[in-house]
Chain A
């Protein structure tokens, strides 16, 4: 406008400010209530005893003290950590292979990619229900172990196998998603770098370790953090398939919060647990931020 008239009409800047804020207004209100709100509420209520039935009562740091002395909480953190580590490790290996398949453009690469990805679009809860049936006695998995000549495994009721069963389910359901992102990362590596490594006489494993992995670092960190958060978040299979059992073998942190809050109505305690998980996620995000020096 300046280009045409030399000066802006009166009120122009102010009007733009106003318009900008007006467009943001719905999101601003939403963010205050439903994005910041829960965090604030979690912090405040974590210092209270609250059961939804009576008004919240301030109880100092009693919830945090109780959590510190609660073996179930630390076990849940341990199981969650173990689950995240195993899940991401398996996913990375398979997803790399899947991305490699698509990248080498072998016959039917597109079909393979679709099949690998398809389970990701199923609701995780539905996947969990169906796999729960697969893992039960005389189910699909037992017919497979029979075929391989392995004695039947009581997948969901054996403490050593329950987590494995859930791992199989959630790797199946999620790995296609990770392979898409890995593939995108692989495709950002310039061809010249590959060619140079071939000229330099690197073998395939050497190329993977010295060229591919370092060049993929941003993608890998992204997947690590997003994978961790997604894995914490996706506790549907634990709720559906094992409900934390047998014993506490598959009681992950999300499920523990769910049970304390929704089943036992210990909202204050559950809030305190949420705060701790939030802090862990914040720390992770910060680490990722630092490592990548994100520019937005």
Chain B
């Protein structure tokens, strides 16, 4: 059966029309927000609501530059980049190490520990953030980058994901390397880790996105404004009394840009990763 043969039938036409309408409904808010991000404030608040900027002259790029420079959004952006990047890096390394250990070595307590990881997989930080805060304060990490990074630097999901992947790598590679005289660290770093790149890619995207997007934990662990991330900064900015809508829209566009770019370039891998998690549980 030809996969891409153009088939036209009334049923398919109905689906196409419905799909288009749904897509329009989904795209509309994004489009409006993006358009509003380059309009002056007077045009956003105008009644009746208008979509397009009135003229090219009224376009406002300082909707972006003003809050980035004056309202610390450049700082929030840098914080988000740094925290998400650091968490992604550490997650990739440590989850792979743990996944390797849990799949290719046998020792006392291994399976018990893996069960434990599976159980904690279901517990979101957003449910235990209060006890987490108590621990982080006890360790003296609150109001520091440590507090933003360390409590999320390894995820049970990442460990699970990497273990499942490394299980599919035959033992022979490590055995052969052992015979060739590589030590265990070299085997991991030169043989196993490079072989994990496909799974690591998906893990890195997931980890980066979920940290870039998180609000609750950064909000409660960092009360100092110079530690705020983009979501925290934007929420705080919006809740101020005289909040300029044009700045909010512009900063919202800035805040979604990194993950949108990631999605644009890594669409296939991201979607197939999600599908795989769904099927394999």
Footprint of B on A, CB under 8 Å?
Answer: 1, 4, 15-17, 19-24, 26-28, 30-31, 33-42, 45, 50, 52, 94, 97-98, 100-101, 104-109, 111-119, 121-126, 128-134, 138-140, 142-143, 146, 172, 177, 180-181, 183-185, 188, 218-219, 222-223, 225, 229-230, 232-236, 239-240, 254, 257-258, 261-262, 267, 270-271, 274, 277-278, 281-282, 284-285, 292, 294, 296
- Inter-chain contact B127/A233, CB cutoff 8 Å: yes
- Inter-chain contact B106/A20, CB cutoff 8 Å: yes
Given contacts A123-B259, A274-B128, contact A140 B32 (CB under 8 A): yes
- Inter-chain contact B120/A20, CB cutoff 8 Å: no
Given contacts A123-B255, A130-B252, contact A104 B127 (CB under 8 A): no
B198 to chain A, nearest CB (A): 17
- Inter-chain contact A104/B12, CB cutoff 8 Å: yes
- Inter-chain contact B101/A262, CB cutoff 8 Å: no
Return the contact of A125 from the options B101, B152, B231 (Cβ within 8 A): B231
Report chain A residues within 8 Å CB of B278: 180-181, 184-185, 219, 222-223
Chain B: interface residue total (CB-CB under 8 A): 100
- Inter-chain contact B26/A123, CB cutoff 8 Å: no
B23 in contact (CB, < 8 A):
yes
Chain B interface main SS type: helix
- Inter-chain contact A31/B23, CB cutoff 8 Å: no
- Inter-chain contact B124/A232, CB cutoff 8 Å: yes
Distance, CA A262 to CA B219, complexed state (A): 10
Beyond A117-B263, A122-B260, 18 extra complex contacts between A and B, CB < 8 Å = A20-B104, A27-B154, A41-B131, A42-B128, A97-B22, A100-B15, A104-B15, A106-B19, A107-B6, A124-B215, A129-B248, A131-B29, A142-B49, A183-B275, A185-B278, A236-B215, A257-B127, A257-B130
Restricting to B101-117, which residues have a CB under 8 Å from any CB of A?
Answer: 101-102, 104-107, 110, 113-114, 116-117
Footprint of A on B, CB under 8 Å?
Answer: 3-4, 6, 12, 15-16, 18-20, 22-23, 26-27, 29-30, 32-33, 45, 47-49, 94-95, 97-98, 100-102, 104-107, 110, 113-114, 116-120, 122-135, 137, 139, 150-154, 156, 159, 175, 178-179, 184, 188, 209, 212-216, 220, 230-232, 234-235, 238, 245, 248-249, 252, 255-256, 259-260, 262-263, 267, 271, 274-279, 281
Smallest Cβ-Cβ distance to B95: which chain A residue: A27
Return the contact of A19 from the options B30, B33, B105 (Cβ within 8 A): B105
A87 to chain B, nearest CB (A): 16
A-B CB contact pairs (8 Å), 10 listed:
A24-B110, A39-B120, A101-B19, A109-B19, A123-B259, A128-B235, A223-B278, A233-B127, A262-B130, A274-B130
Distance, CA A27 to CA B120, complexed state (A): 13
Smallest Cβ-Cβ distance to B45: which chain A residue: A138
Smallest Cβ-Cβ distance to A124: which chain B residue: B213
Given contacts A27-B97, A30-B153, A258-B216, contact A123 B230 (CB under 8 A): yes
- Inter-chain contact B26/A116, CB cutoff 8 Å: yes
B28 to chain A, nearest CB (A): 8
Report chain A residues within 8 Å CB of B33: 130
Distance, CA A219 to CA B118, complexed state (A): 18
Chain A interface main SS type: helix
Report chain B residues within 8 Å CB of A16: 105, 184
Given contacts A37-B131, A183-B275, A232-B124, contact A26 B154 (CB under 8 A): yes
- Inter-chain contact A138/B279, CB cutoff 8 Å: no
- Inter-chain contact A235/B131, CB cutoff 8 Å: no
Smallest Cβ-Cβ distance to B281: which chain A residue: A222
Return the contact of B131 from the options A24, A45, A133 (Cβ within 8 A): A45
- Inter-chain contact B131/A42, CB cutoff 8 Å: yes
Smallest Cβ-Cβ distance to B239: which chain A residue: A240
A202 to chain B, nearest CB (A): 16
Given contacts A33-B135, A143-B48, contact A123 B215 (CB under 8 A): yes
